[in-house]
Structure 1
């Protein structure tokens, strides 16, 4: 049994290099919500050195709100903005001897594309224009994954141990009760359920099927590295291999 562990990096935390020793995939912020040339270069260099698969983590161009504010209408310049972010990161990654293997949208863009087929198709067509061979990472069961498959793109379905789920498989919106799970024991139990039993319990108690191919470890918590180490120990105990 195998699972990919991914972490969002280059977002202003000081534990990026430490997390790269524990994950198999890295999603590097490329300027839309966070990150600059220096952080992109540092994360790319560390990922290449540690043999971690590199991905781009583009978003709505909204640094003031960390890319977490949803847009009532799809911005007309979204395609150009995403291409600029992706191409900027690609140039830096290539200079560091690496290659962008996957693309995972960030924040509001990720969540809106998971439920809005029109936005999902726009995101997919933009990524395909950038590179038709990359893997698109999206919420398991969401519209982005469906749109990518319709376009003939490869996909990886993602799950979150520290986020609450609704009974339809969508994440509980941030800022509402049950959106974040902070108890580490609960998260470990959920991780193993997601991987071994391919299911997750929603906030109303229902069990939902879940095709978890990659698991996101958020790196912005105070104990992110220690918890990532604990996750690796739990997976090792169950003989679950971590690989991109």
Structure 2
């Protein structure tokens, strides 16, 4: 199982987390991070052999890209293309290719259930480079439409987020929506890997299959969790 992490967001944890992940979703600058931070993260990922991908967002630095926005499809396409172009330029600086795209924050969550937002993201990716992988919430609208459009889709599950009964990520406004306790996170990872299920905020089980696991890089325990999950994956090596 692949482990990915959202990085390049100004937290300064890249050097500590990158050795324990397989893929980095790197900010494109509109929700966090700077061109220098993004460039430095790509350079370090290259040194460690970690796959890099663009992590585009709404233009929303004030709220770390976590506030929903309503834009016409054409504007969403332009917004995504703008960020993919900037990120690709920094990848070219280091002669290290961008391999995937994973929307960030509110954009990710809206695309998971809104066909218009999802289609706009897919249109942008296909226009820019149709060989790029799309990381999308498992069993989401974005994942389904991406596959239908011919993109290579990696369905994603979260090691450090709670889920609702509908399979969506629990709102960050809810208590314990973000898991930071190592034992809780590892238990969730184990259930996803071995039993293809996750416990919801309603304390029920729902099916959840994934190709890649995500850990957030901005949490206070992010480094510890990344290391623990990596070690668990190395030891368990489930079939």
Query: Residue 223 of structure 1: CA displacement?
Result: 2.5
Q: Secondary structure at the match of 1:43?
A: helix
- Partner Cα separation in structure 2 for residue 177 and residue 223 of structure 1: 17
Counterpart residue number, 1:64:
62
Q: Secondary structure at the match of 2:192?
A: helix
Counterpart residue number, 2:7:
9
Aligned pair 1:199/2:164, yes or no?
A: no
Aligned pair 1:150/2:148, yes or no?
A: yes
Aligned pair 1:227/2:225, yes or no?
A: yes
Q: Secondary structure at the match of 1:115?
A: coil
Q: Secondary structure at the match of 1:20?
A: helix
| TM-score using structure 2 length | 0.95
Residues 1-244 of structure 1: pairs in structure 2 closer than 5 A: 3-74=1-72, 77-240=75-238
- Partner Cα separation in structure 2 for residue 13 and residue 45 of structure 1: 16
What's the CA shift string for 1:98-128, capped at 9, x where partnerless? Answer: 0010000000000000010111111111111
- Partner Cα separation in structure 2 for residue 66 and residue 45 of structure 1: 24
Q: Secondary structure at the match of 2:79?
A: helix
Asked if the contact 1:172/1:178 (under 8 Å) is kept, the reply is no
- Partner Cα separation in structure 1 for residue 16 and residue 182 of structure 2: 19
Please list every run of 5 or more consecutive structure 1 residues that lacks an aligned counterpart in the other structure. none
Asked if the contact 1:44/1:54 (under 8 Å) is kept, the reply is yes
